[in-house]
Structure 1
Amino acid sequence: MTEDERTALMNDIKGELTSTWSVIKSEDIWWARDLAYKIRWSKIGYYVLFNLESDGSKFFDITKDFNIKKDIWRHMFVRLED
């Protein structure tokens, strides 16, 4: 994946999050990291951590959208205590 493709994917993800979730409070881009095992014949993955503020009502919609995207291999949503 080229730098332009990663930037376009990040903008797409942010757009989906802001259209579905309330606010992106913070974003931590780790970029390239070695994977513990190969995924789709690759040993390198690009990691991004978003801290979101939302009511959570659209959780399943955004999960479904992320599952469809071929460039998002894994994702996880975790609810943090207030």
Structure 2
Amino acid sequence: MKKYELMFILNPEMQEDERVSLISEIKKELKQAWVKLAGEDDWWVKDLAYKIKNSSTGHYLLYTLESDWKAFFDLTKLFNIKKDIWRHIFIKLED
């Protein structure tokens, strides 16, 4: 399996319980897609380079994953329909 990073920008206006619930749901979906979570880093709220949905800040999350790249197709579809996930990107790491 190859290593990837998955970065999210979440809505910074979410309540704490909503954010915890969304993060739990993300981890559950990763597990169901046979993606191994090798590390996670919560960068909290940071300034954005440009406004997203009239906000100049976003809540950043970074996950290190081990998986086959095919799992990311279904995950991308799921992440795109979540209103509080503003952006996400999968990045392949060097071997």
Instruction: Report 1 or 2 for greater relative contact order, CA contacts < 8 Å, sequence distance ≥ 6.
Output: 2
List gaps (5 residues or longer) in structure 1: none
Q: Which aligned segments of 4 or more residues in structure 1 are displaced greater than 3 angstroms?
A: none
Mapped to 2, the partners of 1:54 and 1:48 lie a distance apart of 18
| Larger fraction in strand | 2
**What is the TM-score with the length of structure 1 in the denominator?**
0.92
Mapped to 1, the partners of 2:31 and 2:75 lie a distance apart of 11
Residue number in structure 2 paired with 1:77: 90
List gaps (5 residues or longer) in structure 2: 1-13
Residues paired across the two proteins, number: 82
Q: CA RMSD in A?
A: 1.1
Task: String of CA shifts for 1:23-71, please: whole Å, max 9, x gaps.
Answer: 1000010011111221112111010100000122211111111111111
Query: What does 1:30-69 align with in structure 2 at a 5 Å threshold?
Result: 30-69=43-82
